[in-house]
Structure 1
Amino acid sequence: MLKKQKNKKLILNPEQQDAMRRAGRVNAQLMDYLRPHVKAGTLTKTIDELVVGWTQDNGHVAATLGYQNFPKSCCTSINDVICHGIPDDYELKDGDIINVDITTIVDGWHGDQSETFFIGEVSDEKRDVTQCAFDCMHKAINALTPGCKVAKIGETVVPEAQGRGFSVVREYVGHGLGKKFHLDPSIPHFPNRQSRIDRLYPGMCFTVEPMINAGSRFTKSDKQDGWTVRTKDGRPSAQFEHSVLMTEDGPEILTYTQHGPKPGHVFESATAMAK
């Protein structure tokens, strides 16, 4: 039997790695630019318009616009929407949670990330599932080592989520990242056969983006718009995403924001934060 060889096309050289670092930094700057606008009274289409304006003003490209006919420049997924929510006339209101997912093409390279935001005072369930999604992402990244199996991510996320009474979405996964938006390997947030084969070698770039449901893991897709994915039971879902570069020393997060939550962050209600 021939020994499996790693896919050399996925291994970025030092110059390419620096290009991905820049794409990640730019995307993180966009997230921080959006941050003060993600609040009650804002229309989700306004968030999209802000993405369009900032991206164009800085000479970059929004990757989602037109990607497989997606109609907007970001995704805005609210409450029971797991992913791929389309910005529209919905006005954010107190008690909502919203995941804002942005991907910027910088000189041909992709930076990709998402955050879940609280709009005012949210329920305990929404706060707890958001905390779980955030913690699962960072625990999974921290568990990675050079050359480890992709399955290490799912082996970390599933017990963490289930231990808190939540579930992990299986239909939508992370992915390789670089000159293209979605590359091999697939990055599932649950262990499966392929993830026990694929490995993360130094020079590989990928996303870690667990989607955590408060209720069951099952999903349903909107047949009208062809994109929006909701929890089947109508309970809330939360997600965080970072672009990650595997280095000889371990994983390096490329999309850290200056003003967003850092590892170990504890999400609190608006009332608690105001004290």
Structure 2
Amino acid sequence: MPRDINGHLIPGRISPPRSVPQGIARPEYVGRKTPKTFTGSDVYSASSIDLIRESSVIAAQAIQAVGAAVRPGITTDELDGIGHDFVVAAGAYPSTLGYRGFQKSTCTSVNEVVCHGIPDDTVLQDGDIINIDITAYKNGVHGDSNVTFVVGEVAPEVADLIDRTRESLNRGIKAVAPGREVNVIGRAIESYAKRFEYGVVRDFTGHGVGEAFHSGLIIPHYDSAPRFDDEIVENMVFTIEPMLTLGGSPEWEMWADGWTVVTKDRSYTAQFEHTLVVTARGAEVLTLP
């Protein structure tokens, strides 16, 4: 069981990547070290938005299928298998598989892991929390989402962290409106998180998504004004995915694997994410199961 004497996570054994049927289209970066530079737009036509919605629903439903299996005793690798099989059965490709060398079809981030946890032989225990992040690629576009789940019974302050992180996402979405700058999203999130003395992770952000897994558009989750002043426009597609920490600090460290990000103080952290499209009145969430 890959944990140290203090109960903190350590790297576990990673099984080989899962296979995807040849008939399912791959993103352009599969088999390459890095994706091609995206030169398209974050603003999409109605028909393209419908395709992104389809990919987004697959991702959201896959997360719910994985979440239904979360329990003490299951490994994060087993959960990855459930998510992988769901996405593939829907005729989609799990976007993380082969992205910049990532070996798995989901990200499974447990307890102090902020994001990008690699599924392995870690066994979930009562009192853990786990974030499941899945992106599905179909019809040439990606849909990206994540949800934090509890494992058995968790401490009240941990349950509050999860509920409030979900609410911070909701507040970020409500701040979206054409004509505003993207930094208003982070301002709404951080002002809420500060009420509870949570840390707001700054270095991992929301992003443009659609034809590209990450388009280059950055959506910060903290008050970044006057930086990140891209104008929000109708039919723009991007993710919002705040990460809040129970310890109150945004500081983090990365494991030697180059992916797993953990809170520096090893405090619990939660995250929620939706892909959304900007409408004339605000935003429509695309990643609804």
Q: Same fold (TM over 0.5)?
A: yes
| 8 Å contact kept, 1:64–1:73 | yes
How do 1:87-166 and structure 2 match up within 5 A? Answer: 87-166=119-198
User: CA–CA distance in 2 between the matches of 1:106 and 1:229?
Assistant: 28
| 8 Å contact kept, 1:84–1:229 | yes
- 1:34 Cα deviation (Å)? 1.7
Helix, strand or coil at the partner of 2:193: helix
- 1:193 Cα deviation (Å)? 4.7
- 1:251 Cα deviation (Å)? 0.3
Amino acid in structure 2 at the alignment position of 1:220: E
Amino acid in structure 1 at the alignment position of 2:250: R
Amino acid in structure 2 at the alignment position of 1:238: A
Alignment equivalent of 1:18, drawn from 46, 50, 75 = 50
Query: Against the structure 1 CA distance between its residues 116 and 77, is the aligned structure 2 distance closer, same or farther, given a 3 Å change threshold?
Result: same
Relative to structure 2, which stretch is displaced further, 28-37 or 97-106? 28-37
Partner of 2:75: 43
| 8 Å contact kept, 2:219–2:228 | no
Helix, strand or coil at the partner of 2:41: helix
User: CA–CA distance in 1 between the matches of 2:138 and 2:244?
Assistant: 29
Q: Is 1:54 equivalent to 2:86 in the alignment?
A: yes
Relative to structure 2, which stretch is displaced further, 236-245 or 52-61? 52-61
User: CA–CA distance in 2 between the matches of 1:228 and 1:197?
Assistant: 29
1:71-93 CA-to-partner distances (Å, cap 9, x unmatched) read 11000000011000010001111
User: CA–CA distance in 2 between the matches of 1:97 and 1:195?
Assistant: 33
- Percent identity, aligned pairs only, is 38
Query: Against the structure 1 CA distance between its residues 226 and 16, is the aligned structure 2 distance closer, same or farther, given a 3 Å change threshold?
Result: same
Q: Tell me the TM-score normalised to structure 1 length.
A: 0.87
| 8 Å contact kept, 2:165–2:244 | yes
User: CA–CA distance in 1 between the matches of 2:140 and 2:70?
Assistant: 28
Q: Is 1:238 equivalent to 2:274 in the alignment?
A: no
How do 1:62-77 and structure 2 match up within 5 A? Answer: 62-77=94-109
Helix, strand or coil at the partner of 2:235: coil
Q: Tell me the TM-score normalised to structure 2 length.
A: 0.83
1:206-241 CA-to-partner distances (Å, cap 9, x unmatched) read 000000011111000002x11100000011000000
Amino acid in structure 2 at the alignment position of 1:180: A
User: CA–CA distance in 1 between the matches of 2:224 and 2:287?
Assistant: 27
How do 1:202-241 and structure 2 match up within 5 A? Answer: 202-215=234-247, 216-223=249-256, 225-241=257-273
Amino acid in structure 2 at the alignment position of 1:222: W
- 1:125 Cα deviation (Å)? 2.3
Helix, strand or coil at the partner of 1:184: coil
User: CA–CA distance in 2 between the matches of 1:8 and 1:56?
Assistant: 27
| 8 Å contact kept, 1:99–1:238 | yes
- 1:170 Cα deviation (Å)? 0.6
- 1:199 Cα deviation (Å)? 1.4
Query: Against the structure 1 CA distance between its residues 232 and 22, is the aligned structure 2 distance closer, same or farther, given a 3 Å change threshold?
Result: same
**Structure 1 runs not aligned, ≥5 long:** 1-6, 258-275
User: CA–CA distance in 2 between the matches of 1:85 and 1:213?
Assistant: 16
Query: Against the structure 1 CA distance between its residues 196 and 67, is the aligned structure 2 distance closer, same or farther, given a 3 Å change threshold?
Result: closer
1:73-127 CA-to-partner distances (Å, cap 9, x unmatched) read 0000000110000100011110000000000001111110000001011012211
User: CA–CA distance in 1 between the matches of 2:115 and 2:73?
Assistant: 21
Amino acid in structure 2 at the alignment position of 1:140: G
Normalized per residue, which structure has more helix?
1
User: CA–CA distance in 2 between the matches of 1:194 and 1:180?
Assistant: 26
